[in-house]
Structure 1
């Protein structure tokens, strides 16, 4: 692809609140650059396809110089929807409802991501990269990935960036420093209430967070639980789940993958574990600290994993293994 060739970006659940909040920033040139045309592939379930007409009108009315086209597809025609796309943002999934167990949600969403993986394999561009937002995103990513064996595993990301952003905000507020002063914040494991937001390796103005925030009981207690439970707190306060912040985190993930990581920093996403990093077994999609050179990413080396951190990581890895076992029949 030349520098000025259009980049095709598919967004599932495009008429939902998260999808809607991503589209205009994708179209604006913010993500891929002011000189890179973008063609959006908007995907929705058949009952809400009409809403995409209104969204296209709004996109037209923004008159973005970088928006080179909008195509609309229903989810019954996924191969057409993913034809030649370079990025896929998988937002659409069945949301968890009151009284629903996490295992029930996994089983309901599993078949959706089975067909999604097959369609990406069949139709997407050879350089396609995929960000899974719809929950439970780690295991949904694992399912989709397993049905697209020809798409390299390093092209798949499940979103833990929202948790990273939440952790950064908490550290900034506690230390009285701006968020720009916070760096090297990793999220280990699952995007769930077992995730481990890593304060041990975090930096504030380049110094260890543990030397700036001396309330270590807060770091080991309220900091972790606040980040883990933030989604539920937003639902309680807002009456709806995180939408704008989730969309922002999805786009942050894309930017972090395609732009070089600043020296001494990392970004968080859940990726396929090959068994060679930090003692985490192969075959899971799990949150790691990552760095990118703008083309390729790697698991960041040299993170300190003390006994406390290991105990937290072990808990979230155990949950991921349980989720994998729940959908074992959906994995080829």
Structure 2
């Protein structure tokens, strides 16, 4: 068995953390033969609940779980970690807008960036889940200057999974058969779910999604808005934000980052922008990425319609505005 991977999960006593930690301990992220030592961080008022989570982990008797650190201390939480799931943030509740989250949450991620900079391995792979995820990741990176910018990512895999599920449902297929659907930009209502490069595969062949669906009006209309608004629809139905699906997407994101993508396939990740496809530079922007040997690169060469270019500009402009607002908050 390989040496255990040290994994920190922030906001571990929350809903997403509750689902995420058992997936990590089960081997869904780092593989069925790699042990894990989980560092569970939460705020002091949540320590009693965190203790209950530790008891449950003990009672699950996971073969891969080699140790648990449960704490409200950032030094203990971030020391020598190989991977970080930054989940802890004020959740969006019914009636809240993203901007309402920004002022509260960017200060959390400033502090966590500083802690990562001081205590984590410089090779740590960081996934920001707490919203606004893209901008939180940008702030976290800014305050962790000794860690490469490429090590900070934001989760748009949930949106990708939602998009694949919608296409699969329409075609009466399984979601795992749908590949290369892209989420461009921000994990917000301006994101651009794009099926133009998507394929749907069975055991013997693949077909373009656009050829299988044959409905441009749907792909440029209801498909986009359904994915954009899915999180709010879940909140309206559950009166709570997405938790199980977010945890699953976080696992998908980190697993692909750890092990790589298959040849001919790419996935959506919020990564530091180099200006590809007309996106603003130096924001955390969701692109299609290919991953090999633990390193991502933006998949290049896709053709964009004027419709797509307009959508990318809208979400790019929002990210620039969010980052500027977040930097102002951090300086207050």
CA contact (8 A) 2:278 2:313 kept: no
1:241 CA drift (Å) = 1.1
- 1:146–1:331: 8 Å Cα contact kept in structure 2? no
Residue 25 of structure 1 is matched in structure 2 by 23
> What is the Cα deviation at residue 98 of structure 1?
4.7
Moved over 3 A (4+): 97-101
Tell me if the contact between 2:280 and 2:317 (Cα under 8 Å) persists in the aligned partners: no
Equivalent residue, structure 1, for 2:124: 128
Q: Distance in 2 between matches of 1:91 and 1:295?
A: 21
Range 158-167 or range 209-218, more displaced = 209-218
Aligned twin of 1:175: 171
Alignment match, 2:185: 189
| Secondary structure of the corresponding residue to residue 240 of structure 2 | coil
Distance 2:100 2:241 in 1: 19
CA contact (8 A) 1:86 1:125 kept: yes
Pairing 1:7-22 to 2, within 5 Å after superposition:
7-22=5-20
Paired residue for 2:317?
318
Normalising by structure 2, report the TM-score.
0.95
Q: Please tell me whether the aligned partners of residues 158 and 271 of structure 1 are also in contact (alpha carbons under 8 angstroms).
A: yes
**Aligned partners of 2:114, 2:329: CA distance in 1, in Å?**
12
Cα distance between partner residues in 2 of 1:126 and 1:221: 43
The question of whether the paired residues in 2 share the 8 Å contact of 1:15 and 1:44 is answered with yes
1:102, 1:242 → 2: CA distance?
15
**CA distance in 2: counterparts of 1:265 and 1:113, whole angstroms:** 31
Instruction: Give 3-state SS (helix, strand or coil) of 1:5's partner.
Output: strand
Q: Does 1:59 align with 2:64?
A: no
Distance in 1 (CA, whole Å) between partners of 2:138 and 2:106 is: 10
Deviation at 1:99, TM superposition (A): 4.9
1:119-158, aligned counterparts within 5 Å? 119-158=115-154
Structure 2 CA distance for partners of 1:21 and 1:33, relative to 1, 3 Å: same
The Cα of 1:146 is off from its aligned counterpart by 0.3
Q: TM-score, normalised by structure 1?
A: 0.95
Give the distance between the partners of 1:109 and 1:29, measured in 2 at CA: 30
Distance (Å, rounded) in 1 between the aligned partners of 2:175 and 2:190: 24
Q: Which residue does the alignment assign to 1:290?
A: 289
Instruction: Report whether the alignment pairs 1:35 with 2:37.
Output: no
Partner of 1:245: 245
SS of match in other structure, 1:190: coil
Give the CA deviation at 1:207.
Answer: 2.0
Confirm or deny: 8 A CA contact 1:200 1:304 kept in the other structure: no
Q: Could you report, residue by residue, the CA deviation over 1:34-55 in whole angstroms, capped at 9, with x for unpaired residues?
A: 2211000000111010111111
Q: Deviations over 1:146-182 (max 9, x none)?
A: 0001100111110000000000001111122222221
Question: Which residue does the alignment assign to 1:262?
Answer: 262
- State the shift of 1:330 in Å: 5.2
Structure 1 vs Structure 2 CA RMSD: 1.4
The one of 70, 73, 93 equivalent to 2:71 is: 73
* Unaligned ranges ≥5, structure 1: none
CA contact (8 A) 1:114 1:330 kept: no
Q: What residue in structure 2 maps to residue 272 of structure 1? A: 272
Counterpart CA distance in 1 for 2:15 and 2:93 is 17
Structure 2, unpaired ranges of 5+: none
Matches of 2:99 and 2:239, distance apart in 1? 24
- Segment of structure 1 superposing worse, 104-113 or 14-23: 104-113
Change over 3 Å in CA distance of 1:96–1:237 after alignment to 2 = closer
Separation in structure 1 between the aligned mates of residue 187 and residue 177 of structure 2, nearest angstrom? 24
SS in 2 for 1:6: strand
Alpha-carbon distance between aligned partners in 1 of 2:274 and 2:26, rounded to the nearest angstrom = 36
- Check whether the contact 1:83–1:123 (CA below 8 A) recurs between aligned residues: yes
